[in-house]
Amino acid sequence: MSLFAQEIPRANLVVCGARIVDPVEGIDVVADVRVDDGVITAIGDRLDTNDHRVVGASGRVLAPAFVDPHVHLRTPGREDEETIASGTAAAAAGGYCAILAMPNTEPVVDSAAVLTGLVARARKEAIVPTGFLAAITKRQAGEELTEMGELADAGAAGFTDDGRPVASAAMMRRALAYHAITGRRLAVHCEEPSLTKGTHLHAGAVSAELGIGGYPSLGESLCVERDLALAADTGQPLHLMHLSARESVEALERAQARGTSATGEVTPHHLCLTDDAVRSLDPNLKMNPPLRADSDRAALIEALRAGTIAAVATDHAPHAREEKELTFEDAPFGVTGLETAFAALYTHLVLPGLLTLETLLERMSAGPARIFGLDRPRIAKGAPANLVLLDLESGWRVDEAGFRSRSANSWLLGERLQGRVAMTVADGRVAFE
């Protein structure tokens, strides 16, 4: 068990008349779904509602709720930017029934003591089940492996030094070898620091035009190639985080074709935007890895469609207002995303016909769950209720005042999106409506 949440009473309800879409179960039907004490007990026409609460849902889509494998909850250490309570409230509002938090906090989650403290806080505060990845190296300094066995026993959902790469190939190789003992997935932020030092956006036409140091695609793909080679050599699985470059996607595709157990994730911002948007020098468009060229975006969308990249991950990275009010070059990397991910991807990929709704739903739920060995949210009799009710007709304007997150560094501020989360049920409990 690697997900933790507070005890909220389990729901008794009947969702009536929604279009039920579960691509993995092969369901696409208009029907009612009954939930008894947090468990799906019936799917069918005109179900007996007993004394249950009735949720009228005709014209809406009911799907398996989403899983986000990459969230920064900034806890411990920067609770002014996000807490477990605010971050999981944002997740619930975004339709998520499970999230995984990154360990690059203050202090770093590199000991069982820090991890145990977080688990205790999640049991008090988390509105949706939350898992914690622990660091690969102590203080994420890249010099000494953490006690991975002990951390796995204490509940670590996986391991990562996200925020930075594991610079030493030898260290990465040893970390991979530990997977055979812990069984917990290694997730890597691939970056070759000697190529990316002092850079702020993608190395391309826009960085040249603005005269700002550019982060080349090779700065990512070189490290992707190295880590895939190490995964193949050790025979251990590896997860590549926030892929941004076409060359990285091609490397992943080749590795998978050779039988390497490698998976990848992509963020909504890399799927929706290119470095063209960075001309505005809005600090809310500064992230690591950076927004890249049209051809990169096209390769990411195609890889997500084909399943080479199996998961959408927000890389939700809250920052305090004063940090993002700096100039582009001084501002930190990272944008929020939990509350806008579905609507952004529905608006920018599904409506223009670049991705089907079914594929998007799968890559936001079953795909990421499978990578980290979590139970797949599903709409089936006997399954715990992990449901998202979506209003695809509803348009809305992204507004800071509407965020549950403590931070508002969204790349979508002021934008109109279509598709809204109306309700989220996470592990049998109503987490958002």
Residues designated catalytic: 315
Q: Is the CB of 64 or the CB of 94 nearer to Zn ion?
A: 94
- Residue sitting closest to Zn ion (CB): 189
Kindly provide the b/e burial profile for residues 16-28, where b requires at least 16 CB atoms within 10 angstroms of the residue's own CB: bbbbbbbbbbebe
Q: What does DSSP say about strands 387-397 and 416-426: parallel, antiparallel, or unpaired? A: antiparallel
Residues in a beta bridge with 266? 312
Residue 257 makes CB contacts below 8 A (sequence gap 6+) with none
Residues in a beta bridge with 21? 28
Query: C-beta of 325: minimal distance to Zn ion in Å?
Result: 22
Q: How far apart are CA 166 and CA 187, in angstroms?
A: 11
Q: Is the CB of 314 or the CB of 347 nearer to Zn ion?
A: 314
Q: For residue 162, state whether it binds Zn ion (rule: CB under 5 A).
A: yes
Q: Which CA distances in Å does 60 have to 301, 381, 406?
A: 26, 20, 29
Do 402 and 41 meet the contact criterion of CB atoms below 8 Å apart?
A: no
Q: Is the CB of 81 or the CB of 427 nearer to Zn ion?
A: 81
Q: Is the CB of 64 or the CB of 289 nearer to Zn ion?
A: 289
Applying CB under 5 A, which of residues 110, 247, 296, 315 lies at the interface with Zn ion?
Answer: 315
User: Which among 81-89, 154-162, 230-238, 252-260 is the span making contact with Zn ion, rule CB under 5 A?
Assistant: 154-162
Query: C-beta of 196: minimal distance to Zn ion in Å?
Result: 12
Q: Is the CB of 247 or the CB of 427 nearer to Zn ion?
A: 247
Q: For residue 161, state whether it binds Zn ion (rule: CB under 5 A).
A: no
Query: C-beta of 250: minimal distance to Zn ion in Å?
Result: 20
Query: C-beta of 173: minimal distance to Zn ion in Å?
Result: 20
H/E run at residue 226: helix 218-234
Identity of the amino acid at 406: R
Query: C-beta of 109: minimal distance to Zn ion in Å?
Result: 13
Q: Kindly identify the residues of this chain, within the stretch 4-43, that bind Zn ion according to CB under 5 A.
A: none
- E strand residue ranges, 359-402: 387-397
Query: C-beta of 97: minimal distance to Zn ion in Å?
Result: 20
Q: Is the CB of 61 or the CB of 187 nearer to Zn ion?
A: 187
Binding-residue total with Zn ion (CB under 5 A): 3
User: Which among 74-82, 160-168, 176-184, 219-227 is the span making contact with Zn ion, rule CB under 5 A?
Assistant: 160-168
Q: Is the CB of 239 or the CB of 378 nearer to Zn ion?
A: 239
Binding mask 112-151 for Zn ion (x = CB under 5 A): ----------------------------------------
Q: Is the CB of 34 or the CB of 202 nearer to Zn ion?
A: 202
Query: C-beta of 124: minimal distance to Zn ion in Å?
Result: 25
Q: How far apart are CA 431 and CA 236, in angstroms?
A: 36
User: Which among 106-114, 307-315, 339-347, 411-419 is the span making contact with Zn ion, rule CB under 5 A?
Assistant: 307-315
Residues in a beta bridge with 264? 240
Q: Is the CB of 184 or the CB of 269 nearer to Zn ion?
A: 269
Place of tokens 């925020």: 163
Q: For residue 189, state whether it binds Zn ion (rule: CB under 5 A).
A: yes
User: Which among 113-121, 259-267, 313-321, 361-369 is the span making contact with Zn ion, rule CB under 5 A?
Assistant: 313-321
Query: C-beta of 163: minimal distance to Zn ion in Å?
Result: 6
SS (H, E, C) 294-322: HHHHHHHHHHHHHCCCCEECCCECCCCHH
Neighbouring CB atoms inside 10 A of 5's CB total 22
User: DSSP code of 152?
Assistant: H
User: Which among 10-18, 55-63, 157-165, 207-215 is the span making contact with Zn ion, rule CB under 5 A?
Assistant: 157-165
User: DSSP code of 384?
Assistant: B
Query: C-beta of 314: minimal distance to Zn ion in Å?
Result: 9
Q: For residue 239, state whether it binds Zn ion (rule: CB under 5 A).
A: no
Residue 422 makes CB contacts below 8 A (sequence gap 6+) with 57, 60, 389, 390, 391, 394, 433
User: Which among 42-50, 57-65, 88-96, 189-197 is the span making contact with Zn ion, rule CB under 5 A?
Assistant: 189-197
Do 60 and 89 meet the contact criterion of CB atoms below 8 Å apart?
A: no
Let me know the angle formed at the C-alpha of 312 by 309 and 313, rounded to the nearest 5 degrees.
120
User: DSSP code of 246?
Assistant: H
Residue 262 makes CB contacts below 8 A (sequence gap 6+) with 228, 231, 237, 238, 239, 240, 252, 255, 256
Q: How far apart are CA 35 and CA 37, in angstroms?
A: 6
Q: For residue 253, state whether it binds Zn ion (rule: CB under 5 A).
A: no
Q: How far apart are CA 224 and CA 359, in angstroms?
A: 25
Q: Under the rule (CB under 5 A), what is the footprint of Zn ion?
A: 162, 189, 315
